[in-house]
Amino acid sequence: MKNFAKFLLFVLLVSAGISLLYDYRLKHGGLNLASGRKPEKYTLASNPSVDPKQVPSLEALNRERRALVKSVIPSVVAVKTSTKVAVQRQYELDPFEFFFRNRRQFRSPRDETLVQNSLGSGVIVTNEGHIITNSHVVTDREGNQVDQIEVQLSDGQTKKARLVGADSEVDLAVLKIEDPNVKPLKLADSDTVQPGDFVLAIGNPFGFEETVTDGIISSKGRPNRTDFFGDLIQTNAAINPGNSGGPLINLRGEVIGINTAIASTTGGSQGIGFAIPSNTVRTALESLLKQGRIIRGYLGIQTQALQPDETNSDTDGVTVAGVTPGSPAALAGVQPGDVIHKFDGRDVKNFEALRTFVAQTPLNKQVDLEVLRNGKPLKVKTQIKEQPIDYQSSGVTPRRNQPDPQPQRPGKPSDQETAGGSLASIHVEELTPETAQQLDLPGNVQGVVVNGVDPDSGVAELRKGDVIEEINQQPVTSVADYNKIVGSVDPSKPQVLSVCRGRMRSFLVLRPR
């Protein structure tokens, strides 16, 4: 028994000695027994490289930006939608064939249902819980409401939302939730916005809620590719898929725009984003809440597209090329050849400005038109009426006497290829209703479908199935339109394409090679 006790004491002493030796080696730079190497010596920096007192303005900017973001985040929501899509399976081999091989039987077609989910953003704008978002976020390809709309608030609550109204052309929709504690944001006067103004874009890009990006206003008055109800604000604040419907915020925490589109060669942000101005949003909101639809005024004139060597500064005012019979312009006595310089006291720089003024004028309001007729100034009065449903809103007629593209001769580049540059390497076909359904396109898409791009053309950004809606702001409604426009462009200048890919629209800039 004594021998066992001595043995046990010996084991304990040896163990204690090994432990002490291990600790000593660790503390005095010995080997790391696990890896067989000495531990590295390191000392972390304990002081910042810049004393905050040296950059007080930047510290103040940080605090103010945090306060701005904190104040607006509760009003921004993530919009989540789902819709059921019926899919009919093809005829299948009856399983009983395995047992009765002498009788080949087939099942009848079987309908199955798939659920499509999508994400977007929105902003609360009334005390009653009305939310502004994009129409394409909450409607399907035909413009019909999706089966279910939910919004997720900044505190994590999820609420069912009701679609009050939507307009696919201006791409705005109004939702409604029941919550007495909502915090709406004010819609600012977007006419006061100037290039260089600081802005924040807030939304739900790629499902990352409450994402904040910052930038400036890059430009104003960018033509809307799908509607004449209002022009767009351009910003370099990063906007990505999922930001659609989210707000563009100024320094006062007001909404100056609703983010709606990007110009990109990759499908992601490249610093060129577009927002619907808040004044357009306010007009659309009030129209949707009061009428259930957007009321658009119209004047009833057609004008001529600019030649490649013309600029807006060369052609201030709008030259009337045609007048629609029975329209407000016709009743006012406007004639082809007149040049409209002022609308209701506001300077008319171009057709885009004029159509925005007209569309946002209250119905039945009497306005003054200042025109130049045969070199002499003239004032006429007209009363704005609601735009007819079938009215062609583009209002731009092509220049006459433009030669049609010449047919291609075997073995020799055509005039179109020479004139069109990169555009000539894009092969297109007509957009049919069947193709639109297969590509799951919004109901208002018009254009031509890309069916191929020549290798090494420098147009790798385009994919088969993309729909080209406009080239340099000129609508493309058929292959003939496309060929005519391609044959008239200057290949030494960049070409701007409005492209629809599925349910996402963007601008694509093709630069000369």
The SS3 call for residue 289 is helix
Q: How far apart are CA 447 and CA 463, in angstroms?
A: 15
Q: Average pLDDT for residues 225-252, to the nearest whole number?
A: 83
Q: How far apart are CA 251 and CA 292, in angstroms?
A: 32
Give Cα 326 to chain centroid, integer Å: 36
- pLDDT confidence of residue 32: 54
- pLDDT confidence of residue 458: 63
Query: Which residue reads 């791409």 in tokens?
Result: 171
pLDDT digits (tens, 9 = 90+) for 2-36: 666 777 777 777 777 777 776 666 666 555 555 56
Residues assigned a catalytic role = 136, 171, 244
pLDDT digits (tens, 9 = 90+) for 258-276: 998 887 766 677 888 899 9
Give Cα 146 to chain centroid, integer Å: 19
- pLDDT confidence of residue 38: 82
pTM over 0.75: no
- pLDDT confidence of residue 153: 94
Query: Which residue reads 């306060």 in tokens?
Result: 67
Q: How far apart are CA 280 and CA 256, in angstroms?
A: 10
Contacts of 446 (CB under 8 A, 6+ apart): 431, 469, 475, 476, 477
- pLDDT confidence of residue 313: 43
Contacts of 398 (CB under 8 A, 6+ apart): 304, 305, 474, 484
Domains in the chain, please, with CATH? 75-176 (2.40.10.10), 190-291 (2.40.10.10), 299-392 (2.30.42.10), 415-510 (2.30.42.10)
| pLDDT above 80 (res 364) | yes
CB 497 within 8 A of CB 485: no
- DSSP 8-state class, residue 196: T
Q: How far apart are CA 227 and CA 135, in angstroms?
A: 13
| pLDDT above 90 (res 213) | yes
SS in 3 state form for 23-79?
HHHHHCCCCCCCCCCCCCCCCCCCCCCCCHHHCHHHHHHHHHHHHHHHHHHHHEEEE
CA-wise closest residue to 213 among 203, 227, 228: 203
| pLDDT above 90 (res 144) | no
- pLDDT confidence of residue 304: 58
- pLDDT confidence of residue 401: 35
Confidence of residue 206 (pLDDT cuts 50, 70, 90): confident
- pLDDT confidence of residue 300: 87
Highest-scoring range by mean pLDDT, 189-193, 316-320, 468-472 = 189-193
461 vs 60, 208, 242, 445, CA distance in Å?
A: 42, 25, 20, 20
Q: Which of 117-121, 158-162, 388-392, 429-433 has the weakest average pLDDT?
A: 388-392
- As given in the structure block, the two tokens for residue 460 are 């790798």
pLDDT digits (tens, 9 = 90+) for 398-442: 333 333 333 332 333 333 333 456 787 888 999 988 888 888 787
CA-wise closest residue to 357 among 284, 282, 312, 297: 297
Average pLDDT, rounded, for the chain: 78
- Give burial (CB, 10 Å; 0-12/13-18/19+) of 69: middle
* DSSP codes, 446-510: -SEEEEEE-TTSS-TT--TT-EEEEETTEE--SHHHHHHHHHHS-TTS-EEEEEEETTEEEEEEE
Q: Which of 91-100, 132-141, 144-153, 417-426 has the weakest average pLDDT?
A: 91-100
- pLDDT confidence of residue 453: 81
| pLDDT above 70 (res 239) | yes
Percentage above 70 pLDDT, the chain: 76
Buried b (16+ CB within 10 A) or exposed e, 255-278: bbbbbbbbbbbeeebbebbbbbbb
pLDDT digits (tens, 9 = 90+) for 379-398: 999 998 887 766 654 444 33
Is the torsion defined by CA of 366, 369, 373, 378 positive or negative? positive
